[in-house]
A and B are shown apart, each in its own frame.
Chain A
Amino acid sequence: MKKGKKPSSSAVTSSLIRKPIQRQFAIFLLPTFICFCIGFLWPFIQGIYLSLHSFTTVSNASYVGFANYAKAFADAGFRRAFGYTAEVAVVSLVLINVLAFFVAYALTRGIRGSNVYRGVFFIPNLIGGIVLGYIWKTIIDSVLPVSMSIRANYGFWGLIVVMCWQQVGYMMIIYIAGLNAVPEDMLEAAKIDGANGWKTLWHIILPNVMPSITICTFLSLTNGFKLYDQNLVLTNGAPVRRGVGMTEMLALNIAKTFTTANQRGVAQAKAVLFFILVTTISLIQLTATRRKELQQ
């Protein structure tokens, strides 16, 4: 990106530009703003409102206070989904990041054909969750003695495999950018001081790619928490024991709750809780990356 000689801050925005644009509000900002209201703002506000109501359609909502939230917390399926989602998110986070880091590390050592390998690792990231899930379901189910929807254990590891295949290439790209930014003189100094490969990796490279590690950790964590498509295709929550889907993740649990008409209020309350959870993770990420940037 080209940077101007004197970056114009909003304060110096001249009236020459500002006033005429402001007069064209209806052309520049209004269309996006209206769509934003329809596609996000209004549904969001209505969602919070409805989470405090019992309803089957929007028009027959009756106020119930926090009863929906109480029901959501009391729901065994929701609690199981929360634990299971956390488990999937953490296990996938560790595996994806370790694999992606070492692939990125190996591919920045200047080996022949590394650009091609990089391209190959990235491909799965372009495939959508539904198609990706279907491909792997066909393959995994034909390898295993029983289908993933019969043994929860298989469903769990199947999902992990799919997530790794999809996300390793993506995180690898971020790690490669981080690794390439490690100062050359530091590496040379380590070499002169006689540090071996592992020592250099541990004491020089890792501390320098910390910003990338933070970004990737949180990205894979939020990806894990928000996962829906792959979960739907691979097992759709099955097997079910005592009415509780053993491999059902939060997003799927919420979507399923919405399909039962008299549970919609509870579903919306679950959705609000889910939103708070995901937003909290994102906010922690934001402050964490901010602090890292300040240190540099």
Chain B
Amino acid sequence: MMQTTLKAKKPAAKGLEKQTTGKIITSIAFAVISLLWIMPIVIVLYNSFKTNSAVNTNVFALPNKESCVGFDNYVNGMTFGNYPFYYSAGYSVYITIVSTALILLCTSMAAWYVSRVNDTFSKVVYYLCIFSMVVPFQMVMYTLANTARTVHLDTPWTIPVIYLGFGAGLAVFMFVGFVKSIPIDIEEAAAIDGCGPLRTFFSVVFPMMKPTLISVGVLEIMWVWNDYLLPYLVLDATKYKTIPIHIQYLQGSYGRVDLGATMALIMLSLVPIIIFYLACQKHIIKGVAAGAVKG
């Protein structure tokens, strides 16, 4: 569905075409709208350099000599509250990376098995995966947290297994779609040359999957990094917090909270996302568009 190019249409012709007055006005209008569009992030950025009372009085005011505290908010924010922010950030980074790696490895292998073996069991698994994509999390929120506790997967170190389980549907679906589109001849050639299934998979199929690996990886990273309810229910939040849980706890203590420091923490949680986006904008937009099929 998303194979149509996302780039501007016929760039060669566009270069020759003269920019009409209407187009110039639209362009200027969009420059203004774009600036307004990222204003919320800009506001958080400059408020993160203001004192608590200055943020409270007027969020729109730029920091001035009296209200500016430099990087103090960032330093204080790290340890502020009764749970250090760098713990939350550490858990978030660990859970996101390990979950994504685990999902990519396991589901790509499973998808290859499902589409190449294609027996009754494989078909059942495949349809269950598609089914799981439409089930809202609330349906399993209580029982999933309960199951995770029963099988002792309720720690940050083991939560990637839960993410693999709940997130397998979309990933398997996307990988199967890709495997079905590649010719089996290459794999047959590898088998004739004496490769076992593992070697065929890792040296032939896996490298070919690169575009889908990137798309699925982007979707999973964004899901796990931003997820709030699943880790909140599965983990013991007094011991382990991720960034979204941390931010939500700060808001729970509204009124007593240092808003300047909170703004600094929000900024810190946005920095990885912005770097990630700037580094691979093209892949992210493609991956997200590919995930649109999940509905």
Contacts and interface: CB of A to CB of B under 8 A. Distances in A.
A binds B: yes
Given A120-B34, A268-B142, A126 B222 contact: yes
A269 B78 CA distance: 42
Given A122-B285, A131-B269, A142-B58, A106 B14 contact: no
Nearest to A279: B134
Given A1-B178, A32-B172, A134-B247, A43 B147 contact: yes
Contacts of B64: none
A211 to B, nearest CB: 8
Interface residues of A, number: 113
Interface stretch (B65-73, B80-88, B157-165): B157-165
A255 B187 contact: no
A173 B143 contact: no
B107 interface: yes
Give the size category of B's interface with A.
35 or more
Contact of B109 (A32, A123, A131, A285): A32
Interface string A28-52: 1101110111111111101100100
Interface stretch (A70-78, A151-159, A215-223): A215-223
Interface of B: 1-10, 14, 17, 19, 23-24, 26-27, 30-31, 33-34, 37-38, 40-41, 43-44, 47, 55, 58-60, 106-107, 109-110, 112-119, 122, 125, 128-129, 132, 134-144, 146-148, 151, 153, 161-169, 172, 178, 180-185, 187-188, 191-192, 196-198, 200-201, 211, 222, 225-229, 243-244, 247-248, 251, 259, 262-263, 266, 269-270, 273-274, 276-277, 281, 284-285, 288-289, 292, 295
Interface of A: 1-10, 12-14, 16-18, 20-25, 27-29, 31-33, 35-44, 46-47, 50, 58, 106-117, 119-131, 134-139, 142, 165, 170, 173-174, 176-178, 180-181, 184, 211, 215, 218-219, 222, 225-226, 228-229, 232-233, 250-251, 254-255, 258, 264, 267-268, 271-272, 274-275, 278-279, 282-283, 285-286
